[in-house]
């Protein structure tokens, strides 16, 4: 068979086109998946008992128990630790009467979150999940959306506590994640609308305050996990701590 000799420019164009086809998809879609594969960013939820995807929803199952020490564990538990120091905001810790109990939580969040047309308020109870599988709660205390100030005294050394049914949770910065497992600017988890939650600092070390965020306690820019940019929430030291007037996107579900 007679060989065909292409001009050098045409050969270079042909090779470049093949390279673009082979690599273009990975570069254009670094954070999300279109099939049943769980994108790498969700696998950072190391406290999950399972994480699956159906191409539309990410389903995260957890026991809801913290992987750090707490005075709320039973004294027979290896993670029990007595505590009598200061807690969030520098207030003196005062233990509530509840104890940590294992849960069976299933969080279902959108794989590709989008801004909602109507922004629903976050309810009491679980509104998201932290990387260690612990539930995230909003800025109110039960049962009637009371100010959180009355509950802050009962936050343990890592700024969490259990409610009456024993469900441990964070309303504010999860100190174990921001100081031991990650950093103050690291990924902390996801709310039920699928948008990520970050710590109280930007990657450049700037402390985030509520006045620099929108009504939902977030803003949009690139992060290490989402280099193309994404809306995301931040924990802050000032109220509303995690979430403002509601979910930025449309929330999925949580069951137990």
Q: Where along the chain do its domains lie?
A: 32-255
171 touches 138 (CB < 8 A): yes
pLDDT digits (tens, 9 = 90+) for 240-256: 999 999 999 999 999 98
**What is the torsion angle, in degrees rounded to the nearest 10, for the CA atoms of residue 34, residue 39, residue 41 and residue 44?**
150
The pTM score is 0.86
Tens of pLDDT, residues 91-128: 999 999 999 999 999 999 999 999 999 999 999 999 99
Q: What is the model's pLDDT at position 34?
A: 56
For residues 45 and 124, give the distance between their C-alpha atoms in angstroms, rounded to a whole number: 22
Once rounded to an integer, what is the mean pLDDT over residues 138-153? Answer: 90
Confidence of residue 192 (pLDDT cuts 50, 70, 90): very high
Mean pLDDT of the chain: 89
Share above pLDDT 70 across residues of the chain, in percent, rounded to a whole number: 86
Which residue is it, tokens 């902390």?
188
CA distance 128 to 252: 10
| Cis peptide preceding 143, ω within 30 of 0 | yes
Listing DSSP states for 156-185 in one string gives -TTSEEE-TT--EEESS--HHIIIIIS-TT
Quote the pLDDT of residue 22.
38
Q: What is the structure's pLDDT at 24?
A: 36
Say what the pLDDT of residue 256 is.
Answer: 84
């Amino acid at each position: 068979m007679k060989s065909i000799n292409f001009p050098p420019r045409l050969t270079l164009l042909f090779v470049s086109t093949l390279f673009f086809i082979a690599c273009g998809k990975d570069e254009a879609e670094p954070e999300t998946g279109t099939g049943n594969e769980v994108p790498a960013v969700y696998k950072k939820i190391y406290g999950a008992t399972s994480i699956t995807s159906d191409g539309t929803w990410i389903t995260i199952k957890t026991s809801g128990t913290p992987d750090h020490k707490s005075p709320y564990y039973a004294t027979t538990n290896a993670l029990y630790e007595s505590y009598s120091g200061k807690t969030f905001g520098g207030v003196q810790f005062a233990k509530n009467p509840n104890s940590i109990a294992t849960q069976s939580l299933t969080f279902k969040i959108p794989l590709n979150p989008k801004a909602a047309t109507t922004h629903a308020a976050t309810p009491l109870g679980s509104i998201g999940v932290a990387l260690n599988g612990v539930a995230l709660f909003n800025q109110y205390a039960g049962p009637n959306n009371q100010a959180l100030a009355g509950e802050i005294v009962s936050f343990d050394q890592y700024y969490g506590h259990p409610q009456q049914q024993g469900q441990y949770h964070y309303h504010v910065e999860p100190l174990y994640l921001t100081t031991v497992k990650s950093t103050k600017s690291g990924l902390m988890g996801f709310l039920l609308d699928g948008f990520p939650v970050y710590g109280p600092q930007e990657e450049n070390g700037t402390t985030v305050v509520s006045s620099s965020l929108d009504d939902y306690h977030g803003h949009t820019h690139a992060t290490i996990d989402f280099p193309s940019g994404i809306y995301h929430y931040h924990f802050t030291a000032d109220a509303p701590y995690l979430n403002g007037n509601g979910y930025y996107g449309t929330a999925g579900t949580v069951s137990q």
